[in-house]
Amino acid sequence: MSRPSEERSRIAAVLSSVWSLIAVPLIAVLMALIVGAVVIVLSSVLVLKNPFDPTLPLTAYGALAQGAVGSYDSFVSTLVLTTPLLLAGLGVGIGFRAGLFNIGAQGQFLMGAVGSVAVAVWFAHAPAVIAIIAALLGGMIAGAAWGFVPGLLKATSGAHEVVTTIMMNYIALALLAWIVIGPLRQPGSVSPSTPSVGVAALPIVLDRSGHIGIFIAFLAVPIAWFLLFRTTRGFEIRAVGANPDAARYAGVKPRRLIVLTMSIAGLLAGLAGASVILGVTHQMNTTFSTSVGFDSITVALLGRSNPIGIMVAALLFGAMRAGAGPMQINAGIPVELVDFIQALILLFLIANVALRRLLRLRGVSGAEQTGFETITRSYGGEATG
């Protein structure tokens, strides 16, 4: 008798729980796009003195979407740009879980690139499979070393990882310049650059640019998830991040764990660097630079240090990066708008308590926070023992 209404109420319950899960991210993205649209219109009228054109944002976002997912071609380029963000983002996220604020993804990424190109040149005459594996390993080891040092310094002397990782970023930059100008410079090249990675180039498996690194990156998601949530080490990482004192009483050795976590973070960022060198640029010059390191911090924050969340965030950022170029070319909107929109998405996400109250969603208590207490707690220097 009351079946249909029961059914209906169950569907309603499911729908409302789904809604409360995706409402905030969705609304955050929408509001960010709206504010971005306002900036586009205002800047066009006030700075460029163009006539008022309310459809300009639609043209811009249309070009952005077209460039990101409009065709198979552009979708593959989104995946290519997602790859390093996803790998480095996972590294930063695992660090966050242990309460470590690793600003060094940038340097670890660059060292991964340096390591892989150096090994690739070394293995120029080896069979492709061996060269590829060796070059990837070279990138991972170089990146891991760049994470290991700040970890070791924090564990032994308590030197703050925020400081040491920032400094390591700049040292990596100088090292990269030296490698390209000095030992690895291709003889006879006009502007300094390394030789091509040759046989170590990652095979293209999707379309014209989709290298195999894409699959490595997406494979890293379940591995990271398994490491964090199904292994003892992962439990220890999360325990140290959540409460270092309690973890120590429970027998976790925080110092060893800090070194391990920083090395894993560096390894993943290094792999990201290797994937760009071996899969995309194929050689390195002095201007080899990237925003991956800092974007990956945002990706990890947006994904709430959860591997699956990080994957979604990396895809979103990869799509925006892929669409930014076409947006500038076809709609005349500078690519930097994408950065601004990314910041706005984060802004509306963390203002979510205020947002939820506004939308009268369920499960909101006054004290609810964004679930990131562990990061700032580590910042206060508690993670060492």
Partner 1 sequence: MDALLHALNGIPVLGLVFQFVEYFITALPFTGHVAVQLAVPICLAALCGVMCERSGVVNIGLEGIMLTCAFTGWFAGALITGVLGPGTPTPIFGFTLPLLLALVAAIGAGMLLSLLHAWLSISVRADQIISGAIINIAAIGLTGYMNTLLSTQTLAATGNFSALRIPAAVAGFPLVGWLINALFGQGPIGIATILIVIIFQILLFRSRWGLRTRSVGEHPRAAETVGIDVIRLRYRNVVMSGALAALGGAYLSMEATNAFQAGMTQGRGFIGLAAMIVGRWTPVGAFGAALLFASSQAISQSISVSPPPGELGTLLSHVPTQFFDALPYLITIVVLAGLIGRSIAPAADGRPYQRESAS
Question: Which residues contact partner 1 (rule: CB under 8 A)?
Answer: 39, 43, 47-48, 101, 103, 153, 156-160, 162-164, 166-171, 173-175, 177-178, 181-182, 294, 297-298, 301, 334-344, 346-347, 350-351, 353-354, 366-367, 369-370, 372-373, 375-377, 379-381, 384
Smaller CB distance to partner 1: residue 261 or 352? 352
Tell me the closest approach of the beta carbon of residue 278 to partner 1, in angstroms: 24
Rounded distance, CA 180 to CA 347, Å? 39
Q: Which CB, 275 or 352, lies closer to partner 1?
A: 352
52's CB contacts (< 8 A; 6+ apart) are 41, 45
When the beta carbons of 160 and 233 are compared against partner 1, the nearer one is 160
Give whichever of 6 and 368 is closer to partner 1, judged by the CB atom: 368
**Shortest Å, Cβ 173 to partner 1:** 8
How near is the Cβ of 102 to partner 1 at its closest, in Å? 12
- C-beta closer to partner 1: residue 198 or 332: 332
Query: Which is it for the CA torsion 202, 203, 206, 212, positive or negative?
Result: negative
Instruction: Give the nearer residue to partner 1 in terms of CB position, either 275 or 306.
Output: 306
Q: What's the CA gap between 272 and 170, in Å, rounded? A: 18
239, 292, 321, 339: which is closest to 104 by C-alpha? 292
Structure tokens at 57: 């944002």
Instruction: State the DSSP code for 277.
Output: I
Q: What share of the chain is helix, strand, coil (3-state, %, to 5)?
A: 75, 0, 25
For the chain, the residue count is 385
Nearer to partner 1, 107 or 143 (CB): 107
Give min distance, CB of 299 to partner 1, in A: 11
Cα–Cα distances in angstroms (integers) from residue 344 to residues 28, 56, 356, in the given order? 8, 19, 17
Instruction: Give how far the C-alpha of residue 327 lies from the chain's centroid of Cα atoms, to the nearest Å.
Output: 22
Query: Considering the complex, what minimum distance in angstroms separates the CB of residue 183 from partner 1?
Result: 10
Smallest separation (angstroms) from partner 1 to the CB of 384: 7
Give the separation between CA 368 and CA 377, rounded to whole angstroms: 17
User: How many other CB atoms are there within 10 angstroms of residue 186's CB atom?
Assistant: 15
The distance of closest approach from Cβ of residue 303 to partner 1 in the complex, given in angstroms and rounded to an integer, is 12
Tokens of 96: 């966050």
Please classify residue 364 by burial: count the beta carbons closer than 10 Å to its beta carbon, then call 0-12 exposed, 13-18 middle and 19+ buried. middle
> Closest separation between CB of residue 159 and partner 1, Å?
4
What is the distance between the alpha carbons of residues 235 and 276, in angstroms, rounded to a whole number?
31
CB nearer partner 1, residue 27 or residue 177: 177
Closest to partner 1 by CB, 80 vs 375, is: 375
DSSP structure class, residue 231:
S
Residue 350 Cβ, how far from partner 1 at the closest point, in Å?
Answer: 4
Q: How far apart are CA 105 and CA 91, in angstroms?
A: 8
Tokens of 99: 């309460």
Determine the Cα–Cα distance for residues 331 and 381; give it in Å rounded to an integer: 47
Spatial CA neighbour of 228 closest among 312, 147, 306 = 306
